[in-house]
Amino acid sequence: MKTSYYSLLILSFIFTLPGCVEQAQENSAEQKPMVHEQGNAPMQLELPDNLAGVLRQEMQLLEKGMGELLGHIVAGRSGDAAAVALKIEKSFVLKQALTQEELKQLVGLLPAEFITMDRKFHSDAGALAAAAEKGEFRTAMKLYTTMAESCLACHSQYAAQRFPKLAH
Ligand code: HEC
């Protein structure tokens, strides 16, 4: 039971299944969040080394994927654009890199708003994949812009030390 529940989470990079996330957060309620809550002020997401490493790896792949995706959209490469967007939607790293215990730990440490932003980002990637598959490149580009804005928004809010010039 637990195993299938966590593999569901893993498959979706945690964040596309709202009910499960809430449940997982309750499950790990005993864990103390390691972020410094400051209302909406920019903050640095602080994770233990193992999880921070996985997040950074994920981010580097995202950066690379977004570059490729832009190239495919502007060249009208439907299949390639959809394939990269789907990879982003499902996410690259976490499903291979995290043990169940680490995943539980991660969900317990992430602020709810971070999860919301991440979930939106991944669902936009799914919508982009669908648009690209249909050859709707203008829609795909609008979604691409929305996704890029999510990068900036999340970094401004949650990576105040990593990207100090974004924190204001
Ligand atoms: C929901 C939040 C969130 C979203 C969305 C997000 N990021 Fe990040 N990203 C972070 C956080 C938090 C860090 C800082 C991690 C740290 O402090 O080591 C980060 C760090 C990074 C880094 C630096 C990694 C390193 O090696 O230190 C890159 C590159 C990056 N993000 C790219 C992107 C791109 C490109 C996008 C959008 C396509 C994106 N991120 C979307 C939260 C997010």
DSSP 75: T
Domain of 134, CATH number, reads 1.20.120
Is residue 117 helix, strand or coil? helix
CA–CA distance, 166 with 163 (Å, rounded to integer): 6
Q: Is residue 37 part of a domain?
A: no
Q: Check if 59 has its Cβ closer than 6 Å to any atom of ligand 1.
A: yes
CA–CA distance, 10 with 20 (Å, rounded to integer): 11
* End-to-end Cα, the chain, rounded Å: 44
Q: What is the pLDDT along the chain (168 residues), one digit of tens a residue?
A: 333 333 333 333 444 333 333 334 444 434 444 444 445 789 999 888 988 988 898 899 999 999 999 999 999 999 999 999 999 998 754 556 778 888 888 888 889 899 889 889 999 999 999 999 999 999 999 999 999 999 999 999 999 999 999 987
Give, for ligand 1, the residue of 151, 163, 165, 166 to mutate: max count of ligand atoms closer than 8 Å to Cβ.
151
DSSP 164: G
Structure tokens at 110: 């992430």
Q: Is residue 23 part of a domain?
A: yes
Task: Give pLDDT, residue 106.
Answer: 84
Determine how many CB atoms are found less than 10 A away from the CB of residue 75.
Answer: 11
Task: Give pLDDT, residue 94.
Answer: 56
CA–CA distance, 3 with 100 (Å, rounded to integer): 8
Q: Is residue 34 part of a domain?
A: no
CA–CA distance, 37 with 111 (Å, rounded to integer): 9
- CB burial class (10 A; 0-12, 13-18, 19+) of residue 147? buried
Q: What is the pLDDT of residues 138-161, one digit of tens each?
A: 999 999 999 999 999 999 999 999
Q: Is residue 66 part of a domain?
A: yes
Structural domain tally of the chain? 1
Tell me if 94 sits within 8 A of 13, measured CB to CB: yes
Task: Give pLDDT, residue 2.
Answer: 37
Q: Is residue 36 part of a domain?
A: no
Give, for ligand 1, the residue of 154, 156, 161 to mutate: max count of ligand atoms closer than 8 Å to Cβ.
154
For residue 143, the enclosing domain spans 2-29+44-166
- CB burial class (10 A; 0-12, 13-18, 19+) of residue 69? buried
Task: Give pLDDT, residue 33.
Answer: 43
Q: Check if 152 has its Cβ closer than 6 Å to any atom of ligand 1.
A: no
